[in-house]
């Protein structure tokens, strides 16, 4: 199957100009022709009426001044000077032709018939009168007019097409200038938006949208660079630890106990690497639209209680208590919801004040259910809140030394919420931090 050829705006506009010009000129020329033909027809009817009146006048004079031979003589004298008029007089009783002029051959004739009672040719003898005029000249003039108007329409269309093509070319110059301006953009200058004031007003919406797209691309570009740097940073530390400990272990013979300790340390670093890779693979699959194993009518409170049971040892070690309040039913992937809650609860355990209470609040709003993990502790700075769900972002610089957590937990929460068509939110004030996500309610 051959690919469809792209349409050219220039050719299309030029064709529209030509088609509209030809249509408009054709209608105007047709109107001129019809009006002229109607005027010629009116003139011919008037001329026939005039000739018929003359014939009636001659017949009336013939009735007064002489017989039929005298009338025939007057008619011959009259029609000898009228080569474009034909006359035929026939007696209705026997069809005898009393007078007939000899019009030239090859003409275009229109005729009119009427009856006249001739008193000198017998008492009340009716005569059939047929009079005609030659309209060949009018036909020739109309034909010439038709060809002239057709030529005018064609030439006018060509003229409009040429001027239209020129105007279209000039009208599309701003688009060409915009294309050159966008072609000049490079990743190094992507932060320089296009000045809309330098272009036509009709292009302002396009330029505005393009500038907005540039901003999004720039943000994604910066995030990608930051992500690459963060990945390199996160992977460099465990790899450096692995290399250093291994080189140290191989620098001289060591007893089995020391080698086992080295292997245990290396295993811990490999586990950290595995965790980073696993989380990155999950985020990549979420970006590509990984399918959900949705279970209809899932109780969110039941999932929250399962997460608390899983973290029971961590809660006891930290001297914390966790509880669930509220419930809602949603059509969700239960395993992913538990994973998101587990990440939120793990964060809350690490940063909650000692001997405090952690709550998992489940509420309902406008067509959505919210799951919020609440803990008491040091507040998070307001300017930090919008960045909590970025990959590898750590609000507390001290967390950079964490060997178990690499800054992808909240990113995974945001990805799980997005996979369900939901959202994430975070707030921190008066010593209370609230971080959670929302998912649509069950239909």
The number of distinct structural domains making up the chain is: 3
For residue 301, the model assigns a pLDDT of 93
The pLDDT of residue 375 is 93
Q: Look at residues 399, 396, 395, 343 and name the one whose alpha carbon lies nearest to residue 373.
A: 343
pLDDT band at residue 65 under the 50/70/90 scheme:
low
Confidence of residue 176 (pLDDT cuts 50, 70, 90): confident
Q: What is the pLDDT of residue 389?
A: 83
In angstroms, what CA-CA distances link 53 with 47, 58, 293?
Answer: 10, 9, 102
What pLDDT score was predicted for residue 78? 74
Average pLDDT over residues 221-229: 71
397 or 352: whose pLDDT is higher?
352
User: Is residue 169 domain-resident?
Assistant: no
State the pLDDT at residue 345: 93
The residue count of the chain comes to 443
Which pLDDT score, from 0 to 100, does residue 342 have? 92
Question: Of 290, 312, 344, which closes a domain?
Answer: 290
Of 253, 274, 290, the domain-final residue? 290
Query: Are 261 and 302 in a shared domain?
Result: no
1 located within any domain: no
Contact (CB, 8 A) for 243 and 270: no
Across the range 102-126, mean pLDDT stands at 70
Shared-domain flag, residues 202 and 140: no
| pLDDT confidence of residue 405 | 59
- Do residues 296 and 274 both lie within one domain? no
Q: Residue 239's domain spans which residues?
A: 184-290
Lowest mean pLDDT, pick from 29-33, 63-67, 166-170:
63-67
Does residue 198 have a pLDDT over 80?
Answer: no
Per-residue pLDDT at 337 exceeds 80: yes
**Pick from 194, 216, 218, 219: nearest CA to 207:** 194
Report the pLDDT value the prediction gives residue 398, as an integer from 0 to 100: 46
Q: Is the pLDDT of residue 123 over 50?
A: yes
Task: State the pTM of this model.
Answer: 0.53
230 and 119 inside one domain = no
- Of 20-29, 259-268, 358-367, the poorest mean pLDDT is in 259-268
Would 375 be classed as within a structural domain? yes
| Pair (273, 361) in one structural domain | no
**pLDDT on residue 160:** 85
Percent of the residues in the chain that have a pLDDT greater than 70, as a whole number: 87
Helix ranges restricted to H, 131-203: 136-171, 173-183
In a domain, 281, yes or no: yes
- Calculate mean pLDDT across residues 17-43: 90
Q: Has residue 200 been placed in a domain?
A: yes
The CATH number of the domain where 199 resides is what?
1.10.287
Of 128, 162, 196, the residue at which a domain comes to its end is 162
Same domain, 225 and 350: no
Is 158 found in the same domain as 16? yes
CATH number of the domain at 419, please.
3.30.565.10
Write down the pLDDT at residue 105.
62
- Whether 300 and 402 map to the same domain: the answer is yes
Closest listed residue to residue 410, CA positions, set 434, 389, 396: 389
Which letter does DSSP use for residue 2 in this model?
P
Give the β-pairing of 423-429 and 97-100.
unpaired
DSSP state of 275: H
State whether 434 and 296 are in the same domain.
yes
CA 269/CA 401 separation, integer angstroms = 13
Higher pLDDT, 119 or 383: 383
Residues 372 and 385 in one domain: yes
In a shared domain, residues 286 and 308: no
The mean pLDDT of 11-32, rounded to a whole number, is: 87
Residue 153 falls inside a structural domain: yes
| pLDDT score of 430 more than 60 | yes
First to last CA, the chain: 45
| 370 plus 421 within the same structural domain | yes
Q: Is residue 175 part of a domain?
A: no
Is residue 4 included in any domain, yes or no?
A: no
- Per-chain mean pLDDT for the chain: 81
Residue 424 has pLDDT above 60, yes or no: yes
| Confidence bin at 180 (pLDDT 50/70/90) | confident
Give the model confidence (pLDDT) of 360-403 as tens digits: 999 988 889 999 999 998 888 888 888 888 877 766 554 444 44
pLDDT of 399 reads: 42
pLDDT digits (tens, 9 = 90+) for 139-161: 889 999 999 999 999 998 888 88
Q: From CA 375, how far away is CA 77, in angstroms rounded?
A: 129
Q: What is the pLDDT of residue 341?
A: 93
Taking residues 278-297, report their average pLDDT.
78
The answer to whether 358 and 347 are in contact (CB under 8 A) is: no
Q: How far apart are CA 104 and CA 85, in angstroms?
A: 9
């Amino acid at each position: 199957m051959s690919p469809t050829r792209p349409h050219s705006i220039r050719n299309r506009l030029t064709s529209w100009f030509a088609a509209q010009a030809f249509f408009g000129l054709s209608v105007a020329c047709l109107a001129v022709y019809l009006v002229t033909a109607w005027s010629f027809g009116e003139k011919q009817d008037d001329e026939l009426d005039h000739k018929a009146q003359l014939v009636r006048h001659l017949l009336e004079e013939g009735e007064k001044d002489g017989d039929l031979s005298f009338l025939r003589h007057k008619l011959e004298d009259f029609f000898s000077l009228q080569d474009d008029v034909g006359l035929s007089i026939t007696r209705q009783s026997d069809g005898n032709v009393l007078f007939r002029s000899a019009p030239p051959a090859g003409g275009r004739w229109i005729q009119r018939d009427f009856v006249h009672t001739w008193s000198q040719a017998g008492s009340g003898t009716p005569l059939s009168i047929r009079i005609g005029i030659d309209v060949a000249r009018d036909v020739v003039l109309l034909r010439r007019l038709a060809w002239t108007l057709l030529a005018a329409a064609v030439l006018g269309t060509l003229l409009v097409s040429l001027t239209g093509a020129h105007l279209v070319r000039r009208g599309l110059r701003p688009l060409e200038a915009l294309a050159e301006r966008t072609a000049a953009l490079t990743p190094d200058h992507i932060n320089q938006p296009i000045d809309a004031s330098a272009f036509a007003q009709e292009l302002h919406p396009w330029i505005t949208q393009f500038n907005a797209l540039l901003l999004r691309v720039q943000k994604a570009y910066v995030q990608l660079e930051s992500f690459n740097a963060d990945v390199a940073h996160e992977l460099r530390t465990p790899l450096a630890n692995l290399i250093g400990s291994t080189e140290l272990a191989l620098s001289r013979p060591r007893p089995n106990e020391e080698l086992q300790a080295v292997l245990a340390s290396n295993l811990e670093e490999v586990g950290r690497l595995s965790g980073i890779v696993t989380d990155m693979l999950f985020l990549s699959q979420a970006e590509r639209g990984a399918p959900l194993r949705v279970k209809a009518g899932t109780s969110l409170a039941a999932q929250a209680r399962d997460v608390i049971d899983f973290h029971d040892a961590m809660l006891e070690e930290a001297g914390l208590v966790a509880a669930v309040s509220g419930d809602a039913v949603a059509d969700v992937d239960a395993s992913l919801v538990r994973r998101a809650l587990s990440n939120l609860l793990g964060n809350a355990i690490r940063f909650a004040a000692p001997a405090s209470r952690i709550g998992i609040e489940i509420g309902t709003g406008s067509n959505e259910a919210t799951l919020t993990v609440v803990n008491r502790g040091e507040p998070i700075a307001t300017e930090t809140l919008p960045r909590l769900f970025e990959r590898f972002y750590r609000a507390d610089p001290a967390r950079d030394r964490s060997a178990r957590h690499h800054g992808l937990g909240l990113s995974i929460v945001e990805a799980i919420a997005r996979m369900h068509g939901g959202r994430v939110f975070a707030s921190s004030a008066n010593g209370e931090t609230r971080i959670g996500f929302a998912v649509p309610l069950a239909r």
